[in-house]
Amino acid sequence: MTDACCCPPEAGNAVCDRSAETLQRPRRATNVCPVCGMKGKPVQGQTVKTLLSVSLRAVQAVEYLFCKSRTCPVVYFSLNGEQTFTTAQIRERVYQKEPTSGDVLVCYCFRHSAGDIRTASPAAHTAIIDDINTGISAGQCACDLRNPQGACCLGNVRVLIKEIGA
């Protein structure tokens, strides 16, 4: 940069390579939840629009991230940190926010709840994983539209089964 520099003249440097715009922008770790400080995971706009229970007039043309922090009420926040949507503004209950509930879904496409998985036998666990995989292969899943995390549940299901076995 040349004349866009905002260093004060007393710095004795008329030209610096940092633009005025960069220096004036407030510093913020943009992928971090403004409430709990945990790193969020980017989600598609479709996911946010599908899962919000409030008017979509509130949705902005910005990137949204998913906060999976269990103790944080925020489900989605905007990359600029100016907007948050909490569990009360989401149509689905969110597994990550209440993992010990029996009736919260882990697999939102094929409706397997945390309680069902927790009380199932090892053989039934295999059957649940098979059911999900079969559904995925048949193109029947819609994780981006049904799962609040906007992505496949299989990792969460596997972790939960592992925890039960441990």
Stretch that binds Zn ion, among 64-72, 85-93, 100-108, 121-129 (CB under 5 A): 64-72
Nearer to Zn ion, 72 or 141 (CB): 72
Nearer to Zn ion, 38 or 129 (CB): 38
Least spacing, CB of residue 73 vs Zn ion, in Å = 8
What is the number of alpha carbons within 13 Å of residue 80 lying toward its C-beta?
A: 7
Nearer to Zn ion, 95 or 141 (CB): 95
Tracing tokens 């409706």 back to the chain, one arrives at 111
Stretch that binds Zn ion, among 29-37, 83-91, 111-119, 150-158 (CB under 5 A): 29-37
Nearer to Zn ion, 34 or 153 (CB): 34
Stretch that binds Zn ion, among 63-71, 79-87, 129-137, 157-165 (CB under 5 A): 63-71
In angstroms, the CA 50 to CA 45 distance is 9
Least spacing, CB of residue 37 vs Zn ion, in Å = 7
| CB within 8 Å of 111: residues ≥ 6 apart | 105
Q: Is 74 a residue that touches Zn ion (CB under 5 A)?
A: yes
Least spacing, CB of residue 138 vs Zn ion, in Å = 35
Tracing tokens 């559904």 back to the chain, one arrives at 135
Give one word for 139, left, alpha or beta, with left for phi > 0 and alpha for psi -120 to 50.
left
| CB within 8 Å of 87: residues ≥ 6 apart | 73, 75, 93, 94, 97
Nearer to Zn ion, 48 or 67 (CB): 67
In angstroms, the CA 89 to CA 58 distance is 11
Residues of this chain that bind Zn ion (CB under 5 A): 33, 35-36, 67, 69, 72, 74
